């Protein structure tokens, strides 16, 4: 039985790609040096795969920024605004599409950024023309270069598809199958089951079909109900490419036995690309000794493929030692007293079935206006401020023991003083402490909660050069002590303006961690909600008047099938309300969401029971505002007025234009002014003028409302005395 892998992590050892990209963008590396580094990463991945005995080694799984963008460029699907600038190097044009840039001396906005299905990987949204003939040419070319198989990824088939869409799929692959001299084709799906598309896949004139049996367990029953797939090669995704837990080898071998009875040939495969997990455990020195054997990163998953292939081909006796070790690991994890906590279980059982804030939204408006005293169109930011080289060096020295707690805490206070003073100078209305103590919005909290381990080299690409290190949650967790109180309270002591407390919500903690697979995600979300609720209570007791509970991953977690949406939204919004239901009437609760198709969950915003929601809207040109306008949600709205991931500084006029679009739809009583995301990855020489322009635009629009003499209610949280 042969083995296959959808793709490998492409950031390289030690995040080599990140440093090369950022060096190129900063002018420290030229194009040749960037390609040299990229080539080295590709070569190392191929060597790892070859040494692991993988039979079908993937190529074209690497990208300098995003594989969707690469595919669009391959077929020439480039928006018109990027087709000029003939003097540009193709690499500069490529990064202009990804990050924005100059074309013929004029600035152009990058492509819209959104989530790749239900993952935390971000891809660029492209404009596509007729593609089938172009793909036919590509097939001929790669066959000429020696490719025996070509995998065409069609994960859209795990979503709801119309009859017309499935008919178009049939026509497309009929045309591709007729291409002279083409290689064998496998149509690969992942992230779920294919539903009614299974009969279509069985009929396609292709040689192979790839199915995910990790997140699409229903595929087994669907496969047994159709004719035609038995004559195709089945690429069976039995090694999970999305999570980090060791494979249950017994269960996987049982599944492979069943699949070989249904298909003539089975290839043992990962369920999807391994870009969603860290590269390997070999360099990890910080993972708990008990937990470490429970885990499998990309390189360990290649070993699992090899064992499964040998066991399925030669019989279980040939891999008896590996199976016995695996059984012992799974049993140790199941029996560990650290996995389940009776106190946590009792707290879960005692929570309200439907937690709600006791004062209604209407009852909260006036107490918040009176307490905060904000003007129309109040300005704020999302949370984080730039993490300077000096701050990162101070954190590294503290973690390495080269500096003490007092020295490090002094540095954090210095950074907070700087950020608060800057915001006051710029004239922002609601102040942030800037989060200098946090290297990551999830990892920071995970480090202070129980039952998490934090891989030190467990980097995963989010997009481009942006990498994250997801923590691993292995058991029932609790919050032993306050996590944010000290720094929020210190920032408030440095200003008379309201300082916003910043918390990460339970669904984002869940989605942006590698979470346990031994209980429903709803239970894990409830446990996280209880811990974050305790933090909100402490902030509120200390006098924090505005608290933001960020849950940008709430939309990301929306199931790929519409019939599963209501069940997910019920437990996801419940876990969020479990946190905010502890807030008093005069405590203004915000949340933030970004970089996803938020229109799909706009109806659920009201279920969050918050007072203000801020949203990514700059790249989509305020496209979400119409959905918000027609939704039942009644609170304040802060549509992002500039894209923080683009290196250019927005012009005042451009921000004004976006504000007036939002103003026409929402009115001044609901509108807040903020960037579309946090500022951590930007530099101060970008952030300072951008925020200055944002405040200037808000003041200009605010003044025009006064000049027009239009009588308006103040915004949620504003005081009529200051309008």
Q: What angle do CA 574, 578, 579 make, to 5 degrees?
A: 125
Which helix (H) or strand (E) segment is 467 a member of?
Answer: strand 466-468
Q: Helix or strand or coil: residue 256?
A: helix
| Cα–Cα dist 279/150, whole Å | 24
Q: Count Cβ neighbours within 10 Å for each residue of 262-272 and write b for 16 or more, e otherwise.
A: ebeebbbbbbb
| Cα–Cα dist 643/658, whole Å | 12
Q: DSSP assignment, residue 76? A: T
Q: Helix or strand or coil: residue 420?
A: helix
Alpha-carbon distances, residue 427 vs 423, 496, 696 (angstroms) = 6, 13, 9
Residues 6+ apart with CB under 8 A from 523: 348
Question: Residue 348: how many CB atoms within 10 A of its CB?
Answer: 14
Alpha-carbon distances, residue 112 vs 128, 488, 569, 597 (angstroms) = 14, 33, 25, 11
Residues 6+ apart with CB under 8 A from 220: 213, 255, 258, 259
Residues 6+ apart with CB under 8 A from 177: 185, 204, 205, 206
The token pair at 46 is: 């191929």
395 with 447: CB under 8 angstroms? Answer: no
451 with 270: CB under 8 angstroms? Answer: no
The token pair at 192 is: 């779920």
The token pair at 252 is: 């996987």
3-state secondary structure 588-627: EEEEEECCCCHHHHHHHHHHHCCCEEEECCCCCCCCCHHH
301 with 276: CB under 8 angstroms? Answer: no
Give the active site residues.
645
């Amino acid at each position: 039985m042969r083995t296959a892998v959808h793709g490998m992590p492409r950031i390289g050892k030690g995040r080599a790609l990140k440093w090369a990209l950022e060096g190129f963008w900063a002018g420290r590396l030229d194009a040749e040096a960037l390609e040299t580094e990229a080539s080295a990463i590709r070569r190392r991945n191929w060597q790892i795969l070859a040494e692991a005995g993988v039979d079908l080694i993937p190529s074209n799984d690497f990208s300098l920024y995003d594989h969707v963008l690469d595919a669009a460029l391959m077929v020439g699907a480039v928006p018109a605004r990027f087709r000029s600038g003939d003097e540009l190097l193709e690499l500069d044009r490529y990064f202009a599409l990804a990050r924005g840039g100059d074309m013929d001396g004029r600035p152009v906005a990058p492509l819209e950024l959104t989530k790749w299905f239900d993952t935390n990987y971000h891809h660029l949204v492209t404009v596509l023309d007729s593609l089938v003939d172009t793909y036919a040419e590509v097939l001929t070319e790669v066959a000429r270069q020696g490719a025996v198989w070509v995998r065409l990824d069609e994960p859209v088939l795990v979503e709801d598809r119309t009859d017309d869409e499935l008919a178009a799929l049939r026509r497309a692959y009929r045309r591709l199958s007729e291409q002279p001299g083409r290689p064998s084709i496998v149509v690969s799906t992942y992230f779920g089951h294919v539903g009614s598309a299974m009969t279509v896949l069985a009929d396609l004139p292709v040689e192979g079909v790839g199915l995910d049996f990790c997140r699409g367990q229903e595929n087994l029953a669907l496969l047994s109900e159709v004719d035609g797939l038995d004559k195709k090669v089945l690429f069976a995704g039995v090694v999970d490419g999305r999570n980090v837990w060791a494979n249950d080898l017994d269960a996987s071998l049982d599944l492979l036995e069943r699949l070989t009875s249904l298909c003539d040939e089975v290839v043992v495969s990962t369920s999807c690309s391994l870009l969603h997990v860290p590269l390997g455990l070999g360099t990890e020195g910080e993972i708990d000794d008990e937990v470490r054997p429970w885990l499998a990163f990309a390189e360990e998953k290649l070993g699992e493929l090899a064992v499964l292939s040998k066991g399925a081909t030669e019989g279980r006796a040939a891999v008896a030692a590996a199976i016995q070790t695996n059984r012992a690991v799974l049993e140790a994890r199941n029996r560990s007293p650290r996995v389940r906590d009776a106190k946590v279980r009792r707290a879960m059982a005692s929570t309200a079935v439907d937690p709600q804030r006791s004062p209604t939204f209407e009852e909260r408006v006036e107490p918040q206006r009176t307490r905060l005293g904000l003007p129309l169109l109040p300005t704020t930011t999302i949370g984080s401020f730039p993490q300077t080289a000096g701050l990162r060096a101070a954190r590294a020295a503290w973690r390495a023991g080269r500096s003490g707690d007092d020295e490090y805490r002094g540095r954090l206070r210095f950074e907070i003083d700087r950020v608060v003073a800057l915001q006051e100078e710029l004239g922002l209305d609601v102040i942030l402490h800037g989060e200098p103590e946090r290297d990551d919005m999830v990892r920071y909290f995970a480090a202070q909660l129980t039952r998490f381990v934090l891989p030190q080299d467990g980097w995963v690409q989010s997009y481009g050069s942006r990498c994250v290190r997801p923590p691993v949650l292995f058991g029932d967790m609790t919050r032993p002590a306050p996590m944010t109180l000290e720094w929020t309270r210190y920032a408030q002591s440095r200003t008379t303006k309201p300082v916003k407390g910043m918390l990460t919500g339970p669904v984002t903690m869940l989605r942006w961690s590698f979470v346990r697979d031994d209980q429903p995600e709803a239970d894990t979300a409830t446990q996280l909600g209880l811990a974050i609720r305790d933090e909100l209570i402490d902030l509120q007791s200390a006098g924090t008047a505005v608290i933001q509970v960020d849950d940008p991953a709430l939309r990301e977690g929306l199931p790929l099938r519409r019939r599963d949406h209501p069940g997910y939204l019920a437990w996801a919004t419940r876990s969020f309300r479990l946190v905010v239901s502890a807030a008093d009437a005069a405590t203004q609760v915000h949340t933030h969401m970004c970089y996803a198709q938020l229109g799909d969950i706009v109806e659920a915003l009201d279920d969050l029971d918050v007072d203000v929601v801020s949203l990514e809207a700059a790249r989509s040109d305020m496209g979400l505002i119409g959905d918000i306008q027609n939704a039942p949600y009644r609170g304040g709205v802060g549509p992002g007025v500039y894209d923080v991931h683009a290196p250019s500084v927005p012009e005042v006029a451009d921000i004004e234009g976006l504000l007036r679009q939002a103003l026409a739809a929402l009115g001044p009583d609901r509108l807040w002014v903020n960037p579309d995301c946090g500022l951590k990855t930007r530099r101060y020489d970008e952030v300072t003028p951008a925020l200055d322009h944002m405040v200037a635009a808000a003041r200009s629009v605010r003044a025009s409302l006064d000049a027009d003499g239009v009588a308006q209610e103040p915004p949620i949280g504003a005081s009529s005395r200051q309008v």
